[in-house]
Structure 1
């Protein structure tokens, strides 16, 4: 992919910027950074090393890269960035990850709903937020519907899409759930990026064989045959866990089939006489992991810190080629390139929609009918149970013994000064990454 030259008239404010996967992708798509905010000290240092410069706000010059809790008004003041071209971020994933507890709105790390609220304050032309595949599951259909409806209230057209990194030239699967929202005049020109042709998909061996053979490893050709496949998802992990490794047990087995020992990260490539068998294979170095995460030749970036910290920064990042592809699609829409097509935000949770639209108590019978549920009793119970995880749902018995429901408050943090998120966040701040 060829990088576009950045244009200061198309600026991006990036929340929860991590170590810069999105930042590099957006730069290559033609966006100039106005602000990048990150909590983690190590990722912040990497961002600061790679993104230089200052911005002038209220006659005061400030660094483009800033560190802290992005929900703290002293760190990020949305009114200072009104009408920026793009508001973006990779808000924390643990609230939605399949491997975690999927606490969603009840997790102190959840900033997705809060980030959506910033749209009405910043009024960007476009919003892009990305998260893990877990957010696409039925468990979070009500959460997603809340987000879509809220953006519609702000006069934005929004859509979710599950994107696999391997479809954009990255040598691993890495599915990410991406939300793009645009003001109505621009949304008509937005089109999701097309996957690369099958013959342009990159395998693990294609991406890192030069690095694997840098010391003249004699068994490199045999390894290349085993590793000539798309890899499983790199897992960066968090501060709550131990040292660097490539993921849970199933991922380790998948890496072993590619001739990679996933039990840790190596300091160097294999020596000349290292053996491929009977071991699963060599460990990857951080440089190799970065290639597999999408920092391919031409995607220049310097990671700072110690080995485990560098690995986590890389492993938790949004692959730059995916950010670039989505960024270019947004840029084309902002420039009104291509043919305009009418767009509407799709529905994700019909039960939530009925409850929210009608406002008061809705009988179970009417709710199931209006939501067009196929198996009325079982499906309605399941959907109500899921909604209760993220929303207050009131229940009332009717005279005939049936139930009626009313949708109450959203439990997520959206900026409330008295929300319990603040206490939990401060208590666990040292473990949040």
Structure 2
């Protein structure tokens, strides 16, 4: 039987790794910055090769050593794109998405799988996404984007993730996004056994109240305090399900526990892991103290989602099913026409590229968004300005990029 090996970058504590293993992939290498997450990976799979350090440094690993691997996968840092953040994109020192695309040109995998937050799917990053598609096409890949909800794959929380899959032209016609699971348990169904594990008599009644899908588990960061279940809106949603979201408990409630004046009990790390998709079918142990465990769990890609996408990639590798003609998707026509021009592009050319009536303020707004990720030169000699696309601002491996200095400065709080 052919071996399908995966190199996983920004592997975290193993959510994606476990799912890909379930889909039939064998890990050639897992690369991760955080020591605690590396400890967890080694604890669970001692046979895996785990490299700790800056994934973009050849002191950590040498990408060329893994040329031709079946799958290059990873969950690169989310803060550059998160809706709750500043959405700095290409100018955020944590942005490794563009670098990962260039990495595919070195490793030359049969397929690429990258996942990130929903924010990357928003209009703010239309030009960034178009650049990614164009660059992958130039490297010989056919790429697909899809917004996936964890709750569609048996995971009892929303957790939208924007997933990129890129494949060689001979495999791409066989790729299809996975179908939703037949059943997704509620929070109560998923963890009632854990909530009652110390004999708490209110567990069954609590489970009936918690008969909903959870909001997205938020892992937090080293920069912002300890473990809790998210921002104010999320805490309100948890309270409606009878969960005190102001922290994480050390253990399940005791038999006579009384939560008068509180929404209900707090979740334990084990319960959070269950809500994140770990279960008897996806058994995994997390190392470290409570807050460390919580961050590892909360920042992970749910294993069942990774397994579903990984299985779709595996079927495409094996050419299962009827091949489909794939239509290319255009994310930003303004970026495209700027990219295709050697000189300045006029206002009227941009309007034609969009294909519908559009006024000057809208063009200016779209150019302003693009200028956050690309250098844009503006010529205002005429009544309406013209524009010329310059260099991509993102880190793609440059030795003199600001990313290196900022990474070293803030390394202690990057997670």
Q: Do they fold alike, i.e. is TM over 0.5?
A: yes
TM-score (norm 2): 0.98
CA apart distance, 1:378: 2.7
1:414 equivalent to 2:396? Answer yes
Aligned counterpart, 1:3: none
Aligned counterpart, 1:32: 26
Aligned counterpart, 2:172: 187
CA apart distance, 1:8: 6.3
Aligned counterpart, 1:331: 314
Aligned residues: 415
- The alignment partner of 1:52 has SS state of coil
1:351 equivalent to 2:334? Answer yes
CA apart distance, 1:373: 4.1
CA apart distance, 1:31: 0.2
Q: Equivalents in 1 of 2:238, 2:355: separation in Å?
A: 44
Aligned counterpart, 2:15: 21
Unpaired segments of 5 or more residues in structure 1? 1-6, 55-63
Aligned counterpart, 1:120: 105
CA apart distance, 1:76: 2.4
Q: Equivalents in 2 of 1:215, 1:52: separation in Å?
A: 32
* Cα distance per residue 1:53-89 (max 9 Å; x no partner): 26xxxxxxxxx11100010012121211111110000
Moved more, 339-348 or 352-361: 339-348
* Cα distance per residue 1:286-309 (max 9 Å; x no partner): 000000000022211110011100
* Cα distance per residue 1:232-278 (max 9 Å; x no partner): 00000000000100000110000000100000000110111112443
1:316 equivalent to 2:299? Answer yes
- Determine which of 74, 77, 80 is the counterpart of 1:95: 80
Aligned counterpart, 1:59: none
Q: Equivalents in 2 of 1:424, 1:344: separation in Å?
A: 39
Q: Equivalents in 2 of 1:251, 1:190: separation in Å?
A: 35
Q: Equivalents in 2 of 1:25, 1:388: separation in Å?
A: 37
TM-score (norm 1): 0.94
Unpaired segments of 5 or more residues in structure 2? none
Q: Equivalents in 2 of 1:202, 1:150: separation in Å?
A: 40
Q: Equivalents in 1 of 2:412, 2:205: separation in Å?
A: 44
* Cα distance per residue 1:25-46 (max 9 Å; x no partner): 0000000000000001111111
Q: RMSD value over aligned CA atoms?
A: 1.1
